[in-house]
Structure 1
Amino acid sequence: MKAVLLPGEREVRVVEREVPRPGPGEVLVRTRASAICRSDMSLYTGNPIVGGDAAGRGLVVPGHEPAGDVVETGPGVTGLALGDRVTGYLAIGCMRCEHCRGGRLMLCPRWKCLGFDVDGGDAEYFVAPAVNCLPLPDELSYTAGALLTDMVGTQYATQKSLAVGGATTLAVFGMGPMGGAAVLVGKALGATVLAVDLLDERLALARELGADAVVNSGSDDAVARLRELTGGRGPDVVVECSGAPPAQNSALDCVRKLGSVAFVGESRQTTINPSDQIIRKLLRVTGGWYFPIDQFAELSRFAVQHALPIERLVSHRYQLDDAPEAFRAFDRRLTDKAVFTWD
């Protein structure tokens, strides 16, 4: 089979490998869609943000957002059959600790990440634990299924935890793919959504996805404009998706007193002023990272019932042979959300 490897230093190899075989409790999936995520760039450059010794050395097939068809089951697998359409849950846990038993496999102290620690979906086939292969409704395409987990799933879990609903004014900073997913989820939950970004083309897409108003933080004072749009009060909830320190600070500055801020965009270091930005506003500040595995049935029903146009978040589609071009363009930000497809 063909598979992608990322040895680091912005090198991409498409190699031939043996089709893997599923072990006990595992299934073999024929990949039909696998998305490139901004976190994959850490593998591309050789500085992985998660993963063990194998990550970033070109030993592991990337791709933590895959979907496809079950083509073989290993010993002891129940509940999955050949031909089942599935999407992959990226966190592989021990299934014994308190976090795994609570559904949050990504908090397991011994967790491994699909596409970082173990081979992921940027290949014609991948193997995963049966518990990580989540049933994909017929109403959702393979591409939608791939994006449903990391992006839409993260936003759904985050916004649900913050009680986003019809009475909420939600501001979203960063209109990349994750921010776009935040707009889709927020509108489906009934919120008034305000989108913030530096790029007019991304703000135009945010309007298409349902944003009620947009703010260009490059030409406007985003904090002042968001307060103006909310009658001087500030948004009830802010979801920060860019990971940029200025946006993170603006999120804390603009939100109303007793409001909530979720940091979703990855960031290694940011300087804030807790006294003025958090303590004296009595804010709730949380991290938004993936979703509990037992929430997937609810999440997939939500996507179907609200007819979420998830594929609208995809900017480019590639064949696996074009992986060098795909990663190069993604690294240069010539694409937003790119997906390998086998349609």
Structure 2
Amino acid sequence: MRAVLLPGDRKVVVAERPDPTPGHGEVLIASRASAICRSDMGLYSGDHAVVGGAIAPGTIVPGHEPAGVIVEVGEGVTSLRPGDRVAGYLAIGCGLCEQCHAGYRMLCPRWKCVGFDVDGGDADLIVLPEANALRLPDEVSFPAGALMTDMVGSQYATQSRLGVRGGQRLAVVGLGPMGLAAVLVGRALGAEVIAVDPIEARRETARELGAAHVIGSEGALDTIRDLSSGRGVEVAVDCSGNPHGQNLALDAAALRGSVALVGESSATQISPSDQLIRKLLTVVGGWYFPLGDWEAITRLVVDQELPVERLVSHRFDLTDAAEAFRAFDQRETEKAVFVWDE
């Protein structure tokens, strides 16, 4: 089979590897879509890994947002069979600890990440544990299914946690792929979405996805206050990971409002007294979704006919992996996805 390897220094190798076989409790999946994520860029450059990273560079197949068709099941698999359409859940947990039992396998102290610690979806075939192969409704395309496992799923879990609903205003700061997913999910949950980004093309996409207001970064706080009669928004979600965006989210939130920080970030300076304490603000980290949310995520997408595939800006064949990673790294694409013939 063909498989992408990232040895670092922005090099990409499409190698021939033996076809994997499923072990006990595992399934073999023929890939149909696998998305590139900004977190993959640490592997691509060789500088760092957002998660995982204990494995030698260039030895693990990347791709933590896969979708495809089961072609073989290992011994002990009872809930899936060949021909089932599935998407891949990225967190492999021990299955025994408190966090695993709660469905938060990415919080398991012994967890492994697909595409970072074990081979991911940027290959013709991928092996996953049975629990990590999530059934994909027939109404959902494979590219959409791949995006539902990270961007859409993460936003659903985060916004549901904050109680986003009709009658609320939701500010989304940063309209990269994750931010656009936040717009899509927030609108589906009934909120009036205010979308913020300095790039006009991203703002226009947000408008097409249902944002009620799209504004640039310059003077964004004043505009948000004007749109909310000076009150601020009930919920703000930062997807930029930028200190200015994070502070905008904190400042834009109303008294007793909520903020989710989703964009990855290493350091940010804030003013806790003014921005959190005296506003009685609820601030959470937003990262991935528990297994138990998958059914609700698929229902939301199917019942409301969400145009998840609209989040894909570029499609690539696996043979063109070097160009795909280069273009994504240079921000010439938004969400890029490897696709196989269905």
Deviations 1:100-158 (A, max 9, x none): 00000000000000000000000000001010000000000001100011000000011
Partner of 2:63: 63
Partner of 1:248: 246
Q: Distance in 1 between matches of 2:161 and 2:339?
A: 33
Partner of 1:105: 105
> How many Å apart are 1:254 and its aligned residue?
1.2
Q: Distance in 2 between matches of 1:43 and 1:263?
A: 23
Q: Distance in 2 between matches of 1:332 and 1:81?
A: 40
Partner of 1:280: 278
Q: Distance in 1 between matches of 2:201 and 2:293?
A: 33
> How many Å apart are 1:92 and its aligned residue?
0.3
Q: Distance in 1 between matches of 2:58 and 2:268?
A: 30
Q: Distance in 1 between matches of 2:110 and 2:54?
A: 14
Alignment of 1:74-93 (within 5 A): 74-93=74-93
AA of the residue aligned to 2:331? R
Partner of 2:301: 303
Q: State the SS of the aligned residue for 1:236.
A: strand
Deviations 1:19-55 (A, max 9, x none): 1011111110000000000000011011111114216
| Residue 116 (str. 1) matches residue 116 (str. 2) | yes
AA of the residue aligned to 1:342? W
Partner of 1:24: 24
Partner of 2:55: 54
Q: Distance in 2 between matches of 1:187 and 1:250?
A: 21
Deviations 1:223-247 (A, max 9, x none): 1110011000001100100101110
Q: State the SS of the aligned residue for 2:320.
A: helix
| Residue 257 (str. 1) matches residue 255 (str. 2) | yes
Q: Distance in 1 between matches of 2:20 and 2:66?
A: 16
Partner of 1:161: 161
Instruction: Count residues with an aligned counterpart.
Output: 340
Moved >3 Å (runs of 4+): none
Partner of 1:72: 72
Q: State the SS of the aligned residue for 1:258.
A: strand
| Residue 38 (str. 1) matches residue 38 (str. 2) | yes
AA of the residue aligned to 2:189? L
Percent identity, aligned pairs only, is 63
AA of the residue aligned to 1:27? V
Q: Distance in 1 between matches of 2:138 and 2:187?
A: 23
Partner of 1:5: 5
Partner of 1:135: 135
State the superposition RMSD in angstroms. 0.7
> How many Å apart are 1:324 and its aligned residue?
0.2
Deviations 1:282-316 (A, max 9, x none): 00000110111011011101110010000100000
Q: Distance in 2 between matches of 1:316 and 1:225?
A: 32
Q: State the SS of the aligned residue for 2:254.
A: coil
Partner of 1:323: 321
Q: Distance in 2 between matches of 1:143 and 1:52?
A: 26
Partner of 1:183: 183
Q: State the SS of the aligned residue for 1:256.
A: strand
Q: Distance in 2 between matches of 1:306 and 1:93?
A: 32
Q: Distance in 2 between matches of 1:24 and 1:76?
A: 6
AA of the residue aligned to 1:109? P
Q: Distance in 2 between matches of 1:37 and 1:208?
A: 22
Q: Distance in 2 between matches of 1:21 and 1:87?
A: 18
Q: Distance in 2 between matches of 1:306 and 1:297?
A: 14
Q: Distance in 1 between matches of 2:189 and 2:295?
A: 17
The TM-score normalised by the length of structure 2 is 0.99
Q: Which runs of 5+ in 2 are unaligned?
A: none
> How many Å apart are 1:271 and its aligned residue?
1.0
Q: State the SS of the aligned residue for 1:257.
A: strand
Q: State the SS of the aligned residue for 2:255.
A: coil
Q: Distance in 1 between matches of 2:127 and 2:186?
A: 34
AA of the residue aligned to 1:314? V
AA of the residue aligned to 2:199? L
Q: Distance in 1 between matches of 2:148 and 2:109?
A: 25
Which stretch has the larger CA shift, 45-54 or 228-237? 45-54
Q: Distance in 1 between matches of 2:108 and 2:54?
A: 18
Q: Distance in 2 between matches of 1:254 and 1:49?
A: 28
Q: State the SS of the aligned residue for 2:6.
A: strand
